[in-house]
Amino acid sequence: MTIVLAPMEGLLDFTLRDILTRVGGIDRCVSEFIRVSGTLLPDRVFTRIVPELLNGGRTRAGVPVRAQLMGSDAVCLAENAAKLAALGPAGVDLNFGCPAKVVNRHGGGASLLDDPELVLRIVTAVRRAVPAHMPVSAKMRLGNQCDSRAVECALAMQAGGASELVVHGRTRAQGYRPPAYWPRINDIRDAVSIPVIANGEIWTVKDAEQCRAESGCHGLMIGRGMVCDPGLALAIAKPGQAPLSWFELLPLLAEFWQLIKTHIEPQARAGRLKQWLNFLRRRYPQAEDAYAAVRTLHDPLLVAQTLFSKQA
């Protein structure tokens, strides 16, 4: 079984990828999207969003990272994909799933699923621009407003040369509201001959088992479930594995704090830590206390003194 760490704009950046892949169970990551809109991006944009490019396309734990591109201009996407490929990612991924309003207003993300012909042109152009040995994959939702063209879009991606699809089991209109429609992912899996990875509403080992049964997919992509429970991938991959305890997680939280200090402005550091603690409250009661302790704090020194006195 393949377990992929999902891209999540504004949350699952390279810092959290670094920490989560240290726990184990994750086979591959996909970066947050790199927005392509009419220009050839300089290398520094790629390496800023995907600094793993400076480490052989892998996290420090050795987990490969595919860099994700998002846009609607096939030619421009292809040109940027070629430049990106020269930096050595573990693959190039294409975003056909982002539900953000600002993205879709400008013709990106899930809005592209209304136009399977454009989807085909984009995937074809990128596949031709990227060296043959480098995987080109795509992440899609079931559709934009409805799921009536889901299979058509998946077939277009396959025809364009995508080697793998990740399918989030909801439309853009459905956002992140439960449930995820895993049986509809199975409809796509039945229609294509390339591997399909299921995504959406996987919070527990039981969810993973049910998703695999209903979607028919061997591989899973997990996002918010991993942020809430960093040991989830390992628990899925190794049945009977003891859950990651709060005391095992504490050193990783401290390391996360040290890492964000290297690239985030002081006034924003507390917010990043509180953001993760807020997710962790779903899995760990102790995170509730930690979050309450720093909720009103903004000074990085006070945050460190409150939670990480040894690192202060």
pLDDT of residue 65: 98
| Residue 170 and residue 282 in one domain | no
Tell me whether residue 134 is in a domain: yes
Q: What is the pLDDT of residues 203-244, one digit of tens each?
A: 999 999 999 999 999 999 999 999 999 999 999 999 988 999
Q: What pLDDT band is residue 106 in, cutting at 50, 70 and 90? A: low
Tell me whether residue 79 is in a domain: yes
Q: Catalytic annotation on 211?
A: no
Q: What pLDDT band is residue 289 in, cutting at 50, 70 and 90? A: very high
Q: What is the pLDDT of residues 148-168, one digit of tens each?
A: 999 999 999 999 999 999 999
| Residue 117 and residue 263 in one domain | no
Tell me whether residue 216 is in a domain: yes
Q: What is the pLDDT of residues 176-213, one digit of tens each?
A: 999 999 999 999 999 999 999 999 999 999 999 999 99
Domain assignment of residue 256, given as a range? 246-307
Q: Which residues of 275-300 are buried (b: 16+ CB within 10 A; e: fewer)?
A: ebbebbbebbebbeebbeebeebeeb
pLDDT of residue 108: 83
Q: What is the pLDDT of residues 114-140, one digit of tens each?
A: 999 999 999 999 999 999 999 999 999
| Residue 259 and residue 231 in one domain | no
Tell me whether residue 175 is in a domain: yes
| Residue 97 and residue 22 in one domain | yes
If we measure between CA atoms, which residue out of 178, 247, 172, 235 comes closest to residue 209? 235
| Averaged pLDDT for residues 28-41 | 96
| Residue 10 and residue 95 in one domain | yes
Catalytic residue among 29, 98, 211, 228: 98
| Residue 212 and residue 253 in one domain | no
pLDDT of residue 184: 98
| Residue 256 and residue 274 in one domain | yes
% of the chain exceeding 90 in pLDDT: 92
| Residue 132 and residue 149 in one domain | yes
| Residue 232 and residue 164 in one domain | yes
| Residue 109 and residue 170 in one domain | yes
Number of domains the chain contains: 2
pLDDT of residue 100: 79
Tell me whether residue 312 is in a domain: no
| Residue 83 and residue 122 in one domain | yes
Is-above-0.75 flag for pTM? yes
Asked which of 184, 209, 237 is the last residue of a domain, the reply is 237
Token pair for 273: 């830590």
Tell me whether residue 209 is in a domain: yes
Q: What is the overall mean pLDDT for the chain?
A: 95
| Averaged pLDDT for residues 13-35 | 97
Tell me whether residue 148 is in a domain: yes
DSSP notation for 247-267: HHHHHHHHHHHHHHTTTS-HH
Instruction: Identify whether the C-beta of residue 23 lies closer than 8 Å to the C-beta of residue 235.
Output: no
Asked which of 190, 213, 237 is the last residue of a domain, the reply is 237
If we measure between CA atoms, which residue out of 87, 56, 54, 94 comes closest to residue 73? 94
Asked which of 190, 214, 237 is the last residue of a domain, the reply is 237
Is the pLDDT at 43 greater than 80? The verdict is yes
| Residue 72 and residue 132 in one domain | yes
Tell me whether residue 172 is in a domain: yes
pLDDT of residue 311: 42
- Rounded CA-CA distance 177/99 in Å is 12
The CATH number covering residue 183 comes to: 3.20.20.70
